[in-house]
């Protein structure tokens, strides 16, 4: 195999082939200082500085809460908000020996699979280890298919090293593999690698597309339709970009289904104060866990075509489908099956990630987006925008390649890969069902079936007395904070995702190991009963 890399995997160190070498530290260049302006503070529009008692003029801050970018102050991100900050404090207090009513903090607030005990896929980590340290390619303990994947990835890297930059759009061979994966997934629907952009997780791609879409001022300002409940990335990104958030509500009574009449209502109202240009769909849903039917996706595509909306399909949970009768349908596949009237006209960007599904590799920040029917001049601008960040993390790109090009039948790692993948998804399906069943035994909590993704989003009844005594917080924030202080369980209040006025929810991940999840659910049940009695 050494010929594949031109003999670069370093069996002859330290006198081996110089093409295999460790990364050298980049030189750090310091920029020359700038001369201070001779203008007075008053002439420069700055407040006049006061002399201190010892005769030294204190330096005023250039960046203050009043002079910072005002859109940043509008950004909120509930899954890492004040409850999580308090959870971190509680962990520190426990480590310092402070007595609490619980022995540990259980962070069920976020879909961080490995942090919750999910095990990495062996093949993925083997190939990444080989790519990170090519000398291991001489180690006979690694399977040959892992080595061949590592060779191929390294051949595509500058200097045969993952430490090099890649093209801004991503490594060519990885984009080709992603295109082949999409073609297989969608039953032969063609995919052009030039339409694939590798990203720093799906979030990076979503944010980039929103940057392209947002323009105008006042009543012409871009409006973006997002589901309520929604993943807070969307509201945070729209706030940062100064775009207009257009809420459409999912139907909780019908298992968080999407109703076209609700889309129409939201759109018609929004046209009075902004220019709606994009429609975002999360399927399978986060935080709601629903899986959209094929008919629903068709209806959404027709709606987008009729109303001239750019479609954004967040499909990062496409392997996380558990409920009987549910199936993942990609927006791209349905679009093509609807014929040229739609497949040649509707503008679509779809997103996937290495962070979810059976992989759970959040920290590597790998992902991709595929764009369809995008104007060629806009695509050039998209490439330019991505070039500013240089490139996505190359280890994340390598991992994305493994996700779309896993071990195949007959290869040494195939059986173990299938065993691990199946076990992970089966465990998630079992935990999804358990969560729904246990929560629905609690008076005052109702939970829709967790059809997919990694979360439950149950409706909770909060007594009127608690609503009056919640001390300036949202009632479900008060509820979740009190649960954290009394049980050590960290959840996210529904108000952080959006919900119909007068309703209350929390989001809880189903990721903990089954034994810990059982304990967690029992604690939630006991807390809710105690909370209801206390405030009745």
218 with 320, same domain: the answer is yes
Does pLDDT of 25 surpass 80? no
pLDDT in tens, 61-103: 777 777 666 677 666 655 557 888 888 899 899 999 999 989 8
Residue of 313 and 464 predicted with greater confidence: 313
Out of 145-149, 355-359, 470-474, pick the least confident. 470-474
Q: Is 4 a member of any domain?
A: no
Q: What is the pTM of this model?
A: 0.82
Q: Is 14 a member of any domain?
A: no
**251: helix, coil or strand?**
strand
Q: Are 231 and 282 in contact (CB under 8 A)?
A: yes
Does pLDDT of 492 surpass 60? yes
Does pLDDT of 458 surpass 70? yes
Average pLDDT over residues 216-228: 93
Burial class (CB in 10 A: 0-12, 13-18, 19+), 151: buried
Out of 14-18, 180-184, 203-207, pick the least confident. 14-18
Last residue of a domain, one of 341, 370, 404: 404
Q: Are 374 and 345 in contact (CB under 8 A)?
A: no
CATH number of the domain where residue 426 is located: 3.90.1150.10
Q: From start to end of 462-511, where are the E strands?
A: 489-490, 492-493, 504-509
Quote the CA–CA distance of 447 and 535 in Å, as a whole number. 22
C-alpha separations of 305 from 302, 314, 338, 369 in Å: 5, 18, 12, 21
- Please count the structural domains in the chain: 2
134 with 101, same domain: the answer is no
Structural domain including 377 reads 122-404
457 with 473, same domain: the answer is yes
384 with 490, same domain: the answer is no
Band of pLDDT at residue 385, cut at 50, 70 and 90: confident
Q: Is 174 a member of any domain?
A: yes
Q: Is 23 a member of any domain?
A: no
Does pLDDT of 367 surpass 90? yes
Q: Is 33 a member of any domain?
A: no
443 with 390, same domain: the answer is no
Last residue of a domain, one of 350, 384, 404: 404
Quote the CA–CA distance of 146 and 57 in Å, as a whole number. 64
Last residue of a domain, one of 346, 376, 404: 404
Q: Is 243 a member of any domain?
A: yes
451 with 510, same domain: the answer is yes
208 with 238, same domain: the answer is yes
* Percentage of the chain modeled with pLDDT above 70: 86
Report the half-sphere exposure of 409 (CA within 13 A, side-chain side). 0
375 with 490, same domain: the answer is no
Q: From start to end of 285-366, where are the E strands?
A: 310-314, 348-353
156 with 288, same domain: the answer is yes
Average pLDDT over residues 452-477: 86
Burial 266-275 (b: 16+ CB within 10 A, else e): bbeebeeebe
271 with 389, same domain: the answer is yes
Question: What pLDDT is stored for residue 165 in this prediction?
Answer: 85
Q: Rounded to a whole number, what is the distance in angstroms from the first to the last CA of the chain?
A: 72
133 with 109, same domain: the answer is no
91 with 181, same domain: the answer is no
Average pLDDT over residues 187-200: 94
Q: Is 60 a member of any domain?
A: no
Q: Is 53 a member of any domain?
A: no
* Percentage of the chain modeled with pLDDT above 90: 61
Quote the CA–CA distance of 447 and 440 in Å, as a whole number. 6
Q: Are 357 and 320 in contact (CB under 8 A)?
A: yes
Q: Are 373 and 348 in contact (CB under 8 A)?
A: yes
Quote the CA–CA distance of 280 and 259 in Å, as a whole number. 14
CATH number of the domain where residue 174 is located: 3.40.640.10
Write down the residue that tokens 């002079």 correspond to.
Answer: 67
């Amino acid at each position: 195999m050494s010929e594949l890399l031109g003999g670069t995997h370093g069996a002859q160190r330290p006198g081996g082939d110089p093409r295999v070498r460790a990364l050298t530290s980049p030189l750090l260049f310091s920029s020359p200082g700038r001369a201070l302006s001779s203008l007075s503070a008053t002439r420069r529009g700055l407040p006049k500085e006061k002399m201190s008692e010892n005769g030294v003029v204190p330096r005023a801050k250039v960046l203050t809460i009043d002079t910072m970018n005002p859109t940043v102050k509008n950004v909120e991100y509930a899954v890492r908000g004040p409850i999580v900050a308090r959870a971190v404090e509680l962990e520190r207090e426990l480590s310092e020996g402070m007595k609490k009513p619980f022995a540990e903090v259980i962070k069920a607030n976020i879909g961080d699979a490995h942090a919750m005990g999910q095990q990495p896929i062996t093949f993925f980590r083997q190939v990444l280890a080989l790519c990170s340290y090519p000398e291991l390619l001489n180690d006979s303990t690694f399977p040959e298919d892992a080595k061949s994947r590592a060779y191929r990835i390294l051949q595509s890297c500058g200097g045969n090293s993952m430490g090099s930059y890649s093209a801004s759009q991503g490594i060519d061979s990885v984009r080709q593999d992603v295109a082949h994966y999409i073609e297989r997934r969608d039953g032969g629907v063609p995919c052009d690698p030039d339409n694939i952009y590798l990203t720093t997780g799906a979030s990076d791609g979503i944010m980039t597309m929103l940057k392209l879409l947002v323009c105008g001022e006042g009543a012409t300002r871009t409006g973006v339709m997002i589901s309520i409940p929604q993943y807070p990335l969307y509201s945070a990104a729209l706030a940062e970009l100064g775009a207009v958030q257009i809420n459409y509500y999912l139907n909780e009574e019908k298992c968080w289904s999407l109703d076209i009449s609700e889309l129409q209502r939201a759109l018609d109202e929004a046209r009075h104060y902004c220019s709606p240009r994009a429609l975002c769909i999360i399927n399978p849903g986060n935080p709601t866990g629903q899986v959209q039917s094929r008919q629903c996706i068709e209806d959404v595509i027709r709606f987008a075509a009729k109303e001239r909306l750019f479609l954004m399909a967040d499909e990062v949970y496409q392997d996380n489908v558990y409920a009987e009768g549910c199936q993942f349908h990609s927006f791209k596949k349905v679009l093509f099956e609807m014929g040229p009237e739609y497949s040649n006209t509707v503008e679509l960007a779809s997103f996937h990630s290495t962070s979810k599904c059976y992989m759970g590799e959040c920290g590597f920040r790998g992902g991709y987006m595929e764009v369809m029917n995008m104007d060629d001049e806009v695509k050039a601008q998209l490439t330019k925008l991505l070039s500013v960040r240089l490139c996505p993390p190359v280890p994340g790109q390598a991992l994305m390649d493994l996700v779309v090009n896993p071990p195949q039948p007959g290869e040494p790692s195939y059986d173990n890969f299938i065993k691990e993948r199946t076990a992970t998804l089966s465990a998630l399906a079992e935990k999804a069902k358990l969560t729904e069943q246990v929560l629905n035994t609690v008076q005052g909590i109702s939970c829709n079936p967790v059809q997919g993704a990694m979360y439950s989003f149950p409706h909770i009844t909060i007594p009127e007395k608690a609503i009056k005594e919640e001390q300036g917080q949202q009632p479900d924030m008060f509820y979740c904070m009190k649960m954290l202080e009394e049980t050590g369980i960290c959840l996210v209040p529904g108000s952080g995702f959006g919900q119909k006025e007068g309703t209350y929810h929390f989001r809880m991940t189903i990721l903990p190991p089954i034994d810990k999840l059982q304990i967690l659910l029992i604690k939630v049940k006991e807390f809710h009963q105690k909370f209801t009695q206390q405030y009745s």
